[in-house]
Amino acid sequence: MAKQVTAIYPGSFDPLTNGHVDIIERGQQIFDRVIVAVLVNVEKDPLFSSEERMQLLGEVTGKWDNVEVDAFNGLLVNYALSKGAEVILRGIRAVTDYEYEFQMALMNRRLKPSIETVFLVPAEAYSYLSSSLVKEVFSLGGSVTGLVPAVVEDFMKRKTASNQRED
Ligand code: PNS
């Protein structure tokens, strides 16, 4: 039987952007199975809870049979091993990402040499896009249409509206 390769695509996804979706789409074309793994408790004050992030990821990636959504905490390499994954998938946008990604890839290799980090480059249109910029633009009243999936934008708007009602 041909070898099946599982890749973990880890991240905070707070919120999920179209850049992330682009990487997931490219990854699921290359690997037999892609597990999108949401890091739990990454920020003290996240926009979305990990459950909400998983729910949105599930809605957006539901069209791909070989993509699963999960949550993890602790060391990424331990989580990858527990899932039988041999690859950590990361998107790399510009040179500025390189240093951080390079450090993580080498640290993960030191921790678990059998796991390989694979970098994919998103479409040019998303090369400037980040979750933190999306949060900032949205919080200041700017449009995030086209930067995040429509379900994410709707959710952001509904969440803001319900927060305002509570104030
Ligand atoms: O999307 P992000 O926030 O840049 O993702 C960062 C992430 C989740 C990949 C990274 O913080 C991580 O792997 N955290 C888990 C803890 C861990 O294994 N740290 C050592 C990695 S060098």
Task: Identify residue 124 by its one-letter amino acid code.
Answer: E
Inter-residue long-range contacts of 114-118, CB under 8 Å, 24+ positions, other chains counted? 114/86, 115/77, 115/80, 115/81, 115/85, 115/86, 115/87, 115/88, 116/86, 116/87, 116/88, 117/87, 117/88, 117/89, 117/90, 118/7, 118/87, 118/88, 118/89, 118/90
pLDDT, position 122: 96
Nearest CA to ligand 1 atom 14: 76
Looking at the predicted structure, is the pLDDT value of residue 117 above 80?
yes
56-109 residue pLDDT tens: 999 999 999 999 999 999 999 999 999 999 999 999 998 889 999 999 999 999
Contact 109, 117 (CB under 8 A): yes
Alpha-carbon distance 59 to 151, whole Å? 8
Alpha-carbon distance 21 to 148, whole Å? 9
67 within domain boundaries: yes
Q: Under 8 Å CB-to-CB from 166, ≥6 apart: which residues?
A: none
70 within domain boundaries: yes
- CA-closest candidate to residue 54, choices 12, 94, 91: 12
Ligand 1 site, residue 104, Cβ cutoff 6 A: yes
**SS3 at position 155:** helix
Mean pLDDT, the chain, rounded, equals: 94
97 within domain boundaries: yes
Ligand 1 site, residue 10, Cβ cutoff 6 A: yes
Question: Looking at 44-48, 116-120, 144-148, which range is the least confident one?
Answer: 44-48
CATH number at residue 63: 3.40.50.620
Residue whose tokens read 């450090």: 103
* Rounded mean pLDDT, 136-161: 93
Nearest CA to ligand 1 atom 4: 11
The C-alpha torsion from 92 through 96 and 101 to 106, rounded to 10°, is: 130
Looking at the predicted structure, is the pLDDT value of residue 167 above 80?
no
Q: Which is more confident, 160 or 97?
A: 97
79 within domain boundaries: yes
24 within domain boundaries: yes
68 within domain boundaries: yes
1 within domain boundaries: no
pLDDT, position 159: 83
Q: What is the pTM of this model?
A: 0.95
The set of catalytic residues is 20, 44, 93, 131
Question: Looking at 114-123, 143-152, 153-162, which range is the least confident one?
Answer: 153-162
Nearest CA to ligand 1 atom 20: 75
117 C-alpha vs ligand 1 centroid, how far in Å?
12
Angle at 156 between CA 155 and CA 162, to 5 degrees: 85
Domain count, the chain: 1
pLDDT, position 162: 73
76 within domain boundaries: yes
Ligand 1 site, residue 151, Cβ cutoff 6 A: no
pLDDT, position 84: 97
- CA-closest candidate to residue 32, choices 1, 73, 70: 1
Q: By residue range, what is the domain housing residue 76?
A: 6-166
Ligand 1 site, residue 17, Cβ cutoff 6 A: no
